[in-house]
Amino acid sequence: MNKRLEDWINWILIDELKSGIINAPKHLLGNHDYGDGQVIMVYRPHAEKVCVVSPTGKNRDEMECLSDGVYGFYSAKKKYKGTKYRIETTYQDGTTVVTADAYAFDSQITEFDTYLFAEGKHYDVYEKFGAHPMTIDGVKGTYFAVWAPHARRVSVVGDFNMWDGALNPMQMMQTSGIYELFIPDVAPGAVYKYQILTRDGEILYKADPYGNQCQVRPDNANVVADLTGYKWKDTDWIENRKQQTRETELKKPMAIYECHLGSWKKKIEDSDFGFYTYRELAKMLCDYVKKMGYTHVELMGIAEYPFDGSWGYQVTNYYAPTSRYGSPEDFMYFVDHMHENGIGVILDWVPAHFPRDAHGLGRFDGMPLYEHPDPRRGEHPDWGTYIFDFGRNEVSNFLTANALFWVEKFHVDALRVDAVASMLYLDYGKQDGQWLPNKDGGNENYDAIDLLRKINTVMEERNPGAFLIAEESTAWAGVTAPASMKGLGFLYKWNMGWMNDFLEYMKMDPYFRSFNHNRLTFSLSYTYAENYVLVISHDEVVHLKCSMLNKMPGVEMDKFANLRTAYGFMYGHPGKKLLFMGQEFGQLREWSEARSLDWFLLDQPLHKKMQKWVADLNHMYTTYDACYYNDNNQMGFEWTKVDDANTSIIAFVRRGKTVKDQLLFVCNFVPVERKDYWIGVPCLTEYEEIINSDAKIYGGSGTKNGKVKAFEEKCDRMPYAISIDIAPLSMMVFRYDYVDKKQAVVDAPATAAIEKKPEPKKATTAKKSTAAKKPTAKKAAVAKTSTENKSVEKKTTK
């Protein structure tokens, strides 16, 4: 053995290398200066001969075998500089492999990177961790980095090294717990995992927490992916998004189509792999959403998950779009195509908990890492999942960067945060003895509160116009208040209270609705406390809850009439809108992730007409700013009939940003027809019916009101009245321009006109409304004009 080589060798490191426990292989392997010369060391088990060669092949030096598989070379001069050499290995079967030396390359993670990560403030950490194809010193390969501070040793394993953990052990960076390695010749498409040797001697095979692509389940390894190659075409969309603020977003329409891509439509039914791709779905879904008048799609279950039945809410790979529908680039195309067609994209995001799958985040390096170490804080007993350790900086960084990742890498417009309530309360879903109070003895999770504020704040600072929506079902105050005002900082919150009350009301036999009138009206007592999205989500049409149509009482015609009225009221109520796929055409069966929606129902007239009803509601909603502009301002809503529980008829006014095109909504929730029925109205003008759920085009009997003129008679809460015909179980909308008593149209902003009127009263304090009355002959003569009912589709956008 060369004397200089023998003097340089650290036999302890060689023993660690051969024993598979080395965590700093670059201290032994690679290119090292030694005095005026150099030492090059490699590990090539089963090699017959190993040589160091120059990239051009001009220089060649055979290496000395120092121990089984360990080869060394000493040169008195620095013959091979840095990474400018190759290792030529001839194996016992006669094959020869020439490659650059993985251990000659410097780390791509800086000390500043490790400092920011430890502080929980490395918001671009996904650019460093994971698997990143790159070229270093002219050598193509993939750079791997992972955080595993409790591991004894971490190796990259895959098809490229026969899944042998001894061949590519990673280098641990000082005390940060970060392991890294650049492996030459590993290209996009390579399959890999991390092999982790725990301190207890157990060997784990883990998926990459920051990996960007996975195999199609049931396989669960990662796939090396390049996220830099896609050429985006949505520049105008993104630039416009950057100009938005919290205030401008709140004044825009938002009609959301909640969608599970795998079961919206399937290419092959009864197949676990019969999905359309992201690119195929982009065209089909976009065309449908545009035709139906929605402004956004909300996608369930996009981050990779192993079990179809979890719908994507038990995530194993937070940085990888599910491979069920294609590659990450395919998903980029999906978002890009939506933006090109004016459709926003919302993703469901699950930072509350994660599953126990062996290849996932749980006990990642043999000990609790991403989850809280105390099971009273770190486990959901009912769900069988782990809870993130929200107070640990590196975990906080993982989640914060992940929220930014979907917005910045995939141009997603918003994240709907799942199960926020479970994050806020330490005792959520737990019995006494199963949870640990906070430092003040309460049940508030201070770490989760701080994290949610941080994510919302950072998102708003880095990506103006992108926002987060909370699925939060409790009375927690300030969910949508800015973090600067000690709120959580979300832009919107799902209105679960409205959904529960309203669905309970609609499921009742109409006979009992008069005794439960408060379920219909109570939501207006708190609707301005938060910025709400009204939702009828997937959770309401599964697990024996029935589809929306089958929740409705009565025979078939009554069910459809009830559902049309329900959707009509929803679109009139303050708050943005969300409807789960299939409910727009009256899906009969409960939703299942395993099959397509029942599109064949559109061959039946009532289902086709229901679809048209929802499309026209969307077009009305986006056409008239009275439906959305003042969702969060009391001036935007006023009851005109609220406390007539006996008739179960309600009416209210919605106002936009001007006195023009204000809307009067009238809903009848019982199967009783009302002829010449008086409704109080705010001004003495003409009211034009623009939509009526009883129109024949929607499956009704054809009741019409056309244009009706108000007359001077106090009615209900209002100084004037109109007389209309109201069909059983129906909803209608009248358009009017606000005028003063002298019939002069006021073109000033609506606030100026409304300031002259008293503040709207609460529904609970309103006086009993006037019962239906027949107007006098003189008044009846001017009360109503019979003209054809006008479809909203004929109304052009202002």
- Which active-site residues does the annotation give? 418, 471
Burial class (CB in 10 A: 0-12, 13-18, 19+), 185: middle
Q: Are 409 and 402 in contact (CB under 8 A)?
A: no
DSSP 3: H
Q: Which residues pair with 517 in a beta bridge?
A: none
Other CB atoms closer than 10 Å to residue 743's CB: what's the count?
10
Helix 111-119 × helix 393-410 angle, to 10°: 110
If one counts every other C-beta atom within 10 angstroms of the C-beta of residue 705, the result is 23
DSSP string, 362-396: TTTTSS-SSB-SSHHHHEETTTTEEEB-TTSHHHH
Residue 485 φ then ψ, to 5°: -105, 20
Taking the C-alpha atoms of residue 447 and residue 767, their distance in angstroms, rounded to an integer, is 47
Please, what is the angle between helix 556-572 and helix 496-507, to 10°? Answer: 150
Q: Cα–Cα distance between 581 and 258 in angstroms, integer? A: 6
**380-407 b/e with 16+ CB inside 10 Å = b?**
beebebbbbbbbbebbbbbbbbbbbbbb
DSSP structure string for 303-359: EE-S-GGGTT-S-SEEEEE-GGG--HHHHHHHHHHHHHTT-EEEEEE--SEE---TT
Per residue, the 3-state secondary structure of 671-720, as one string, reads CCCEEEEEEEECCCCEEEEEEECCCHHHCCCCCCCCEEECECCCECCECE
Q: Is 531 left (phi over 0), alpha (psi -120 to 50) or beta?
A: beta
Nearest to 469 by CA among 310, 379, 344, 336: 344
Q: Give CA–CA dist 574/253, Å, rounded.
A: 11
Question: What does the alpha-carbon distance between residue 403 and residue 456 come to, in Å, rounded to a whole number?
Answer: 9
Q: Give the number of other CB atoms < 10 A from CB of residue 548.
A: 26
- At 266, the amino acid letter reads K
DSSP string, 405-459: HHHHHH---EEEETTHHHHHBTTTT--TTS----TTSSSB-HHHHHHHHHHHHHH
Alpha helices by DSSP H, 209-277? 235-242, 246-250, 261-264
Alpha-carbon distances of 693 from 50, 616, 642, 658, 689, rounded to whole Å: 81, 10, 20, 26, 11
d(CA 82, CA 95): 27
Return all residues near 341 (Cβ < 8 A) that are at least 6 apart. 286, 290
